[in-house]
Amino acid sequence: MGMPDTARRYTVEEVLAFPSDGNRYELVHGELLVSPAPRFWHQVMVGRFFARLASYLDQHKHLALALLSPADITWGTEDDLAQPDVFVVPVRETSGEWSTLRTLLLAVEVLSPSTARYDRITKRRLYQEHGVLTYWVVDPDARLVEVWHPGDDRPQIVTDRLVWAVAPDAPALVIELEDLFANLT
């Protein structure tokens, strides 16, 4: 005899009504993921990625915009809510409301001890299901980045340089990981 599924399921509406307490709340198929405030070095890495992406996208302002969490990406569902650390969306979907964002061209998650499992497994599957075109799982401790795309069964492990383009005909952004991970303690 199997055990009944007694886990509490949440909706986006319920989670958005939670009081602000410093935690990050996300949903994957109604399962609540709770993360504490990130570590100092996590935020340094987030800032470095955002700066590089924003600078690159300055040349492509008509195509895409880089954003930071907190954000409430729901893809219009009632039981999925994600807050990628850094993400890139098409300009055509920006309206000033999170609810209009349906396409993530790129999502970046920087691993922390409390989020590694969620970022590598749970959220990765969610991003693949919602067609996130490229997903970077950044591991500052191992100094590598896992690169995922929809349909991938395994990541590409990058240890030297990340290469990404906002559109097939756009010049690529190249991020040297040695520079990105420099001076982390």
Please report, for the domain that includes residue 134, its CATH number.
3.90.1570.10
In this prediction, residue 173 has a pLDDT band, given cuts at 50, 70 and 90, of very high
Q: Is residue 100 part of a domain?
A: yes
Q: Quick check: 49 pLDDT over 60?
A: yes
For 74-105, b where at least 16 C-beta lie within 10 A, e where not — what string?
Answer: bbeeeebbbbbbbbbbbeeeeeeebeebeebb
Q: Is residue 185 part of a domain?
A: no
In this prediction, residue 2 has a pLDDT band, given cuts at 50, 70 and 90, of low
Strands 135-139 and 106-110: parallel
Compare 38 and 135 and report the one with higher pLDDT. Answer: 135
User: What's the confidence (pLDDT) of residue 185?
Assistant: 66
pLDDT in tens, 66-109: 999 889 899 988 999 899 999 999 999 888 887 888 999 999 99
Which ranges of the chain does DSSP label H, i.e. alpha helix?
12-16, 40-57, 116-117, 123-129, 177-180
Q: Is residue 4 part of a domain?
A: no
Q: Which of 87, 93, 86 is nearest to 63 (CA)?
A: 93
Q: Is residue 3 part of a domain?
A: no
User: What's the confidence (pLDDT) of residue 134?
Assistant: 97
Q: Is residue 5 part of a domain?
A: no
Other CB atoms closer than 10 Å to residue 52's CB: what's the count?
A: 20
Q: Which domain holds residue 144?
A: 12-180
Cα 42 from chain centroid (whole Å): 13
Number of helices (H) and strands (E) in the chain: give both, helices first: 5, 10
Q: Quick check: 4 pLDDT over 60?
A: no
Q: Is residue 7 part of a domain?
A: no
pLDDT in tens, 115-137: 888 899 999 999 999 999 999 99
Q: Is residue 64 part of a domain?
A: yes
Q: Is 66 helix (H, G, I), strand (E, B) or coil?
A: strand
Compare 155 and 34 and report the one with higher pLDDT. Answer: 155
Dist CA 20 CA 27 (whole Å):
16
User: What's the confidence (pLDDT) of residue 19?
Assistant: 86
How many structural domains does the chain have? 1
Residue 137 Cα distances to 26, 124, 169, 181, 185, angstroms: 17, 9, 25, 14, 19
Q: Is residue 2 part of a domain?
A: no
Question: Quick one: 21 exposed, middle or buried, by C-beta within 10 A (0-12, 13-18, 19+)?
Answer: exposed
User: What's the confidence (pLDDT) of residue 22?
Assistant: 77
pTM, rounded to two decimals: 0.85
Q: Which of 11, 28, 45, 10 is nearest to 118 (CA)?
A: 28
